[in-house]
């Protein structure tokens, strides 16, 4: 797995991705011909991770455009709006999904005067740009994040905010990759991240591929490792960040952040600015996806709890801003007060975009 | 599953137990003819839980005594000491194991003048008493613990400190059973408790059997449930308690206790006084068992992480005494300062025993 690894991309007129539900035991690549199958792949988490599902949705719109058969541009625009709505309905929490769909819609509308074949090609090119910009952004983010890591650090991460969560390179793992490539001797503690085990399956797979030293632990061991003095930094990704710096990320992140705070360990969130939802004041206003019971009852149909067991399965939780030591973005490191640092970076984002 | 359910007991000249590795999908009972198989059952966690493995070791010694063929009492005593050492080596952390073996050894030595056949029968009777006393103790403990529970409480528990962790009735679940039987409308949040999933498999099974309302969650959801105001009390068991009130219990307990403290939720430890190791000053002095990699890589040979993944697998952690709101024992409720309350209850224990 080199640094140019792509999780999801446009390939020979199709959308191609690695099937993350099969990792790490099998490396299966799938190609999609129909945007509805792309939507289903997001829903079933064959592709997951906030930036990655944004990129995938953009590619899904490009796929729908490329297969559109009428020569009526307005019909195409109406159709792609519906396609965007369908893709937006796949998962409710990550804002990058909506960000990417909005960007595609804006692009399409502002180029409505183009000849339809040129417009279709431009749409594909735009989705492709979202893909490649994501990787560029993560490398920039990784560079900033590297400044926060010391030689010899043991870094704990939760879930997968790696290349697999993005178009490539990763956010939290982008920081770790950058630190490792810059020659720092680091070690990574990987929370397995129940119920879907993205840490055990995806983060561990990425780190093993790059020979970065790591230790896989169950989620309930993280606090113990901190207590034993074995963790110097925590770096995680984010699915959505509110205007005040509250962070919505994989279930368990709030507990990791609280335990880090108790042990005076810096807790860093690595996320592109597209993860920031300036329209949302605080974390509690962000909808938290509740997923199916079977994920908690076992793993992939191999159940260890009885079918009649009542469960809860919130996919995310909210880490309040006061637990966040810094937010690492592609534009630099944001610190408290987040209301101000986020407002400033988002103003810049609007200006540059 | 009635309140007279026995996890492990003497039955027709054999040691009989429910195979906890098969629960909850199968209810398999096994009978042992050889104490070495009893030792193996402790090691492989067919029986687990601090009080239960104490009872099992005592029954293992009785089994060895009943199968001893020489008529030389001194040989029997020497042999049973070796048997006790072998049983003591199965698991290093829970003190009840050593407590039960010591009690059997003391009993055997103080009755060395008995006729050998009478002695053998007395040894079996003594092991049987350890079994039945455990249940009696847990019911007393449950009664005291019930005073700490309010009508309408949602109670979080970690791992299994239930009937299955004891000879019967349970410690943490003994408190919950007593509260439920006294008519309080309670709800239980059950941490699944990776890696061996004692919560999902055993605690959920016990609660479903008794129709006590419950919700199974992954370990990393507990903090979120507290943050959402859904948890009013935490009750857990203990594998060993130091003289200062530090509690060694299943990995993850320290994190649950810390999160409870942050959210001002009382954190109760329910354990018989046999769990207290007065000879150990503080929790850090207690050896923590490190278990095999395969437990973390997957579940029962169905792996989701690659075989070459480095892991850590400490089976327990230490909860410092300042996080413990009270320790519920069969002799009453202990509070800070634990050095004093524990010294007093242990003096009483020695006097009464």
Collect all residues of chain B within an 8 Å Cβ-Cβ radius of residue A312: 215-217, 221, 225
Domain ranges of chain B: 8-139, 142-345
- Most A CBs within 10 Å: which of B189, B210, B305, as the mutation test of the A interface? B305
B45-65: string of b/e by CB count within 10 Å (b at 16+)? Answer: bbbbbbbbbbbbbbbbbbbbb
Distances (CA, A) of B254 to A227, B147, B283, B324: 9, 24, 12, 10
What does the pLDDT read at residue A4?
79
Asked if A193 reaches chain B (Cβ–Cβ under 8 Å), the answer is yes
Label the pairing between strands B326-329 and B332-334.
antiparallel
Residue A200: both structure tokens together:
């055990």
Architecture of domain B8-139: Up-down Bundle (1.20)
Q: What is the pLDDT of residues B57-102, one digit of tens each?
A: 999 999 999 999 999 999 999 999 999 999 999 998 888 999 999 9
Q: Where are the alpha helices (DSSP H) in B27-171?
A: 35-43, 50-66, 73-88, 95-110, 116-146
User: How many Å apart are CA B35 and CA B131, to the nearest integer?
Assistant: 17
Collect all residues of chain B within an 8 Å Cβ-Cβ radius of residue A201: 304-305
Segment B239-267 shows an average pLDDT of: 98
CB A105 within 8 A of CB A80: yes
- Kind and range of the H or E element at B327? strand B326-329
Among B224, B255, B310, whose Cβ lies nearest the Cβ of A220?
A: B255
What does the pLDDT read at residue A336?
98
Q: What is the pLDDT of residues B39-63, one digit of tens each?
A: 999 999 999 999 999 999 999 999 9
Q: Where are the alpha helices (DSSP H) in A204-336?
A: 204-209, 222-227, 253-262, 294-297
Say how many CA atoms lie within 13 Å of B211 toward its Cβ: 4
Asked if B44 reaches chain A (Cβ–Cβ under 8 Å), the answer is no
Q: What is the pLDDT of residues A89-101, one digit of tens each?
A: 999 888 899 999 9
Cβ count near B90 (within 10 Å): 20
List of residues 6+ apart from A341 with CB closer than 8 A: A245, A327, A334, A335
Q: Which of A239, A246, A277, A317 is catalytic?
A: A239
List of residues 6+ apart from A108 with CB closer than 8 A: A76, A77, A80, A119, A123
User: How many Å apart are CA A315 and CA A127, to the nearest integer?
Assistant: 27
Mean pLDDT over all residues of chain B? 95
- Most A CBs within 10 Å: which of B154, B202, B221, as the mutation test of the A interface? B221
CB B159 within 8 A of CB B236: yes
For residue B17, pLDDT over 50 is answered with yes
Residue A299: both structure tokens together:
């793993």
Asked if A201 reaches chain B (Cβ–Cβ under 8 Å), the answer is yes
Asked if B227 reaches chain A (Cβ–Cβ under 8 Å), the answer is yes
Q: What is the pLDDT of residues B325-335, one digit of tens each?
A: 999 999 999 99
CB B274 within 8 A of CB B99: yes
Q: Do domains B8-139 and B142-345 have the same CATH topology?
A: no
Among A205, A216, A252, whose Cβ lies nearest the Cβ of B220?
A: A252
Q: What residues does B302 pair with on adjacent strands?
A: B299
Label the pairing between strands B187-191 and B8-11.
unpaired
CB B84 within 8 A of CB B108: no
What does the pLDDT read at residue B1?
59
Interface contacts A/B by beta carbons within 8 Å:
175
- Kind and range of the H or E element at B17? strand B14-18
What does the pLDDT read at residue B350?
55
CB B10 within 8 A of CB B65: no
User: How many Å apart are CA A165 and CA A6, to the nearest integer?
Assistant: 10
Collect all residues of chain B within an 8 Å Cβ-Cβ radius of residue A309: 200, 204, 208, 214, 216
User: How many Å apart are CA A112 and CA A293, to the nearest integer?
Assistant: 45
For residue B349, pLDDT over 80 is answered with no
Look at the domain B142-345 and name its fold.
Rossmann fold (3.40.50)
Kindly determine whether residue B204 and residue A259, on different chains, have CB atoms separated by under 8 Å.
no
CA distance B144 to chain A (A): 29
Asked if A196 reaches chain B (Cβ–Cβ under 8 Å), the answer is no
Label the pairing between strands B187-191 and B214-217.
parallel
List of residues 6+ apart from B171 with CB closer than 8 A: B51, B138, B141, B161, B162, B165, B237, B238, B270, B271, B272, B328
Encode chain A (353 residues) as per-residue pLDDT tens digits: 565 799 999 999 999 999 999 999 999 999 999 999 999 999 999 999 999 999 999 999 999 999 999 999 999 999 999 999 999 999 988 889 999 999 999 999 999 999 999 999 999 999 999 999 999 999 999 999 999 999 999 999 999 999 999 999 999 999 999 999 999 999 999 999 999 999 999 999 999 999 999 999 999 999 999 999 999 999 999 999 999 999 999 999 999 999 999 999 999 999 999 899 999 999 999 989 999 999 999 998 889 999 999 999 999 999 999 999 999 999 999 999 999 999 999 987 555 44
Which of B241, B206, B207 is closest to B323 using CA atoms? B241
Segment B12-39 shows an average pLDDT of: 96
User: How many Å apart are CA A98 and CA A89, to the nearest integer?
Assistant: 9
- Most A CBs within 10 Å: which of B27, B159, B220, as the mutation test of the A interface? B220
Among B24, B221, B258, whose Cβ lies nearest the Cβ of A305?
A: B24
Kindly determine whether residue B194 and residue A218, on different chains, have CB atoms separated by under 8 Å.
yes
Confirm whether A37 is a catalytic residue: no
User: How many Å apart are CA A118 and CA B126, to the nearest integer?
Assistant: 89
What does the pLDDT read at residue A349?
59
Q: Give phi and psi for A330, each to the nearest 5.
A: -70, -10
User: How many Å apart are CA A101 and CA A37, to the nearest integer?
Assistant: 17
Collect all residues of chain A within an 8 Å Cβ-Cβ radius of residue B310: 213-216
Q: Give phi and psi for B214, each to the nearest 5.
A: -150, 160
What does the pLDDT read at residue A3?
59
What does the pLDDT read at residue A347?
87
What does the pLDDT read at residue A352?
45
For residue B347, pLDDT over 90 is answered with no
Q: What residues does A119 pair with on adjacent strands?
A: none
User: Burial of B81 by CB count in 10 Å (0-12 exposed, 13-18 middle, 19+ buried)?
Assistant: middle
Provide the 3-class DSSP secondary structure of residue A290: strand
Which of B63, B27, B70 is closest to B46 using CA atoms? B27
What residue in B sits closest to A312 (Cα-Cα)?
B217
Q: What is the pLDDT of residues B195-235, one digit of tens each?
A: 999 999 999 999 999 999 999 999 999 999 999 999 999 99
Sheet containing A316-319, strands listed edge to edge, beginning at the edge strand earlier in sequence: A276-277, A240-242, A247-250, A316-319
What does the pLDDT read at residue A350?
55
Q: Does the reported pTM lie above 0.90? A: yes
């Amino acid at each position: 797995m080199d640094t140019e690894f792509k999780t999801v991309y446009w390939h020979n007129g199709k959308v191609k991705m690695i099937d993350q539900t099969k990792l790490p035991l099998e490396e299966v690549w799938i190609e999609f011909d129909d945007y509805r199958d792309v939507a289903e792949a997001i829903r079933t988490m064959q592709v997951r991770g906030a930036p990655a599902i944004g990129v995938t949705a953009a590619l899904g719109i490009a796929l729908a455009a490329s297969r559109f058969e009428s020569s009526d541009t307005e019909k195409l625009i109406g159709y792609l709006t519906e396609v965007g709505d369908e893709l937006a309905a796949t998962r409710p929490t990550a804002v990058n999904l909506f960000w990417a769909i909005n960007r595609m819609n804006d692009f399409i509308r502002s180029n409505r005067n183009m000849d339809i074949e040129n417009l279709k090609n431009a749409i594909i090119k735009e989705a492709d740009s979202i893909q490649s910009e994501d990787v560029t952004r993560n490398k920039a983010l990784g560079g900033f994040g590297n400044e926060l890591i010391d030689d010899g650090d043991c870094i704990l991460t939760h879930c997968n905010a790696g290349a697999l969560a993005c178009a490539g390179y990763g956010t939290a793992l982008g920081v770790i990759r950058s630190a490792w490539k810059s020659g720092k001797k680091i070690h990574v503690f990987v929370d397995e991240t129940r119920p879907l085990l993205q840490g055990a399956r995806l983060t561990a797979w990425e780190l093993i591929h790059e020979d970065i030293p790591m230790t896989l632990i169950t989620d309930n061991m993280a606090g113990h490792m901190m207590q034993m003095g074995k963790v110097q930094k925590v770096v995680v990704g984010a699915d959505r960040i509110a205007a005040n710096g509250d962070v919505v990320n994989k279930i368990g992140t709030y507990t990791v952040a609280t335990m880090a705070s108790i042990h005076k360990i810096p807790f860093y969130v690595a996320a592109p600015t597209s993860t920031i939802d300036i329209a949302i004041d605080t974390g509690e206003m962000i909808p938290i996806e509740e997923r199916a019971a079977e994920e908690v009852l076992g793993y992939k149909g191999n159940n260890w709890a009885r079918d009649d067991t009542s469960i809860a399965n919130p996919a995310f939780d909210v880490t309040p801003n006061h637990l966040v030591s810094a937010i690492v973005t592609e534009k630099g490191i944001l610190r408290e007060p987040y209301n101000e640092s986020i407002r400033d970076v988002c103003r810049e984002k609007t200006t540059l975009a």
